[in-house]
A = this chain, B = another copy of it.
Amino acid sequence: MSRSPTEPRLVRVTASDNVATVVNDGGLPAGTCIPTGIASREIVLLEDVPEAHKVTLVDFAPGDDVVRYGAVIGAATEALPAGSWMHEGRLQLPQVPSLDNLPMATSVPPAQPPLEGFTFEGYLSPDGTVGTRNILAITTTVQCVAPTVEFAVRRIKSDLLPRFPNVDDVIALTHGFGCGVAIDAPGAEIPIRTLRNLALNPNLGGTPIVVSLGCEKLQPSRLLPAEKLPILQNEPIVVRLQDDKHTGFLDMVHAIVAAAESRLEQLNRRRRVTRPVSDLVVGLQCGGSDAFSGITANPAVGYASDLLVRAGATVLFSEVTEVRDAIHLLTARSATPEVAQALVREMAWYDAYLARGGADRSANPSPGNKLGGLNNVVEKALGSVAKSGTSRISGVSGPGERVTTKGLVFAATPASDFVCGTLQLAASMNMHVFTTGRGTPYGLAMAPVIKVSSRTPLAEHWSDLIDIDAGTIATGQLTVQQVGELIFNMILDVASGRRQTCADRWGLHNDLVLFNPAPIT
């Protein structure tokens, strides 16, 4: 531990927190004065406190609640004056919340003042959704057709796309589902509706093109039944490879290319128009998290989330296993008891899914988490939930469901980065914000991904992969609010096509990975 840091740095996430986290590389020694602005009165450290660990900002009596992220993360096990090190041994673990008797819509945050006058330039689709990109996508019913569609897409991109400069990209929506699956088993509706709603993502401009083999279990009529479709400009275009009219491989390719050409002509006529921020559907996610994620990148994203909600947008947060231990806070924050009940439904479903597979949420912090200052599972979950800001929760969707609610919505997904991203796209996400501490070169073909680093060394080291450095909050260069505003503004710039993300610069697009809880056959 360095004995005399030139400038003590601590982070207090919300004004109601009674602990703050030490940022300085080597921790802080006893005798350090806590900067004003962090504590409400003058506090001197009574003992050495390591980097990323917590300092008490008030005098604690045994049993007093310890508040971080504006929420109770446990109770003090002993009397601790302000300036003490609040470590694992002094913090009593709360019980993992039962799903019975949760507080339902008991602490609904008041609506924040509307944020008016913010707009972006987007593509209006016939169904009323708005894209941040103008992409031609070719949906597939089954993996069998994937190589044929990819062959056709290469040809479309080389031969046709140059003639349609207003179209951003041509992509094949390929996946591992569609046949050899127990298509009527419980849970199989999840991958099916995911594929359906991916095809209807706002960035694809309506009127899906679907390539089917012919004998697969997931028939086009089941993937895109008329009664499940929004009002589209045209019916879906279906190319079925086993149809007698296709004589050989190149003929199949020609049929796909021809369908694409007619769609490219439609898409190419579209122009960006000024739209209110309320047309954005912003998905939030974290991956490769570290101890700083919960105090830099995630709260900054949470601040941006609040701005988006005030401006009328839809904001999606997800990752069931990363919010499970904070569920009592989320049900309380829900706008209505019905929303809270829907949250409980999704948690209970996932608990049962994991139990059936002989697993649990493995939520205990890892040794690395603990070294990094995360004392327990509640603190870990709160770090993740910090992305959702402070708004009331207006809605809940099941995995792969399309979201139409405005405001902050919990879109239930696994925490796996690529599965969560796929499901948020199905929920109709048109912009994605991804926070990372350890670093990942993540990206999506269907929506731009803004990557926010939790710490400055990563942002500097990966300067061509990280879009925004939230480590500046820990170093004291910027506040949570300032980085939140940077993120908010970058969302508008990227959504409008004025700025490019690092992932799009390199064309880094992860696969669509479906969540299929049902067996395969």
Which A positions have Cβ atoms within 8 angstroms of B? Answer: 143-148, 151, 174, 176, 179-182, 184-187, 213-215, 241-242, 244, 246-250, 252, 287-288, 321, 353-354, 356-359, 361-362, 414-420, 438-443, 461-465, 502-503, 506-511, 513, 515, 517-521
Contact = CB atoms under 8 A, between A and B. Distances in A.
Contacts of A361: 521
Contacts of A288: 144, 213, 215, 242
18 contacts: A143-B417, A143-B510, A147-B508, A151-B507, A176-B511, A180-B416, A180-B419, A182-B354, A182-B357, A182-B358, A186-B358, A213-B440, A241-B441, A242-B288, A248-B461, A354-B519, A356-B356, A515-B520
A361 B521 CA distance: 7
A506 B250 CA distance: 9
Contact of A187 (B357, B439, B506): B357
Contacts of A463: 248
Contacts of A517: 357, 519
A361 B517 CA distance: 17
B179 A465 contact: no
A115 to B, nearest CB: 34
Contacts of A354: 182, 519, 521
Contacts of A520: 414, 416, 419, 515
A9 to B, nearest CB: 23
A146 B503 CA distance: 13
Contact of A359 (B438, B443, B518): B518
B248 A418 contact: no
How many copies the complex holds: the figure is 2
A438 B214 contact: yes
Nearest to A512: B176
A182 B359 contact: yes
Nearest to A441: B148
A361 B181 CA distance: 10
Contacts of A443: 147
A248 B464 contact: yes
Given A151-B507, A357-B186, A519-B359, A461 B143 contact: no
Contact of A143 (B180, B353, B513): B513
Contact of A357 (B213, B465, B519): B519
A357 B147 contact: no
A148 to B, nearest CB: 5
Given A249-B462, A521-B414, A513 B176 contact: yes
A466 to B, nearest CB: 10
Contacts of A214: 438-439
A456 B362 CA distance: 55
Contact of A362 (B182, B241, B420): B182
Contacts of A502: 249
A418 B176 contact: yes
A249 B464 contact: yes
B179 A176 contact: no
Given A357-B517, A416-B520, 17 more contacts: A147-B441, A148-B508, A151-B508, A174-B511, A176-B419, A176-B513, A180-B416, A214-B438, A242-B288, A247-B461, A248-B462, A249-B502, A250-B464, A356-B356, A357-B518, A419-B520, A517-B519
Contacts of A359: 182, 184-185, 518-519, 521
Nearest to A440: B144
A80 to B, nearest CB: 33
Nearest to A436: B215
A247 B465 CA distance: 10
Closest 4 CB pairs of A and B: A180-B416, A182-B359, A357-B519, A176-B513
Contacts of A176: 176, 418-419, 511, 513
Interface centre among A185, A215, A241, A513, by most chain B C-beta atoms within 10 angstroms, is A215
A190 B508 CA distance: 28
Contact of A248 (B215, B353, B438, B465): B465
Given A354-B519, A461-B247, A519-B357, A179 B417 contact: yes
A509 B151 CA distance: 10
Contacts of A187: 357-358
Contacts of A242: 288, 438-439
A321 B417 contact: no
A417 B180 contact: yes
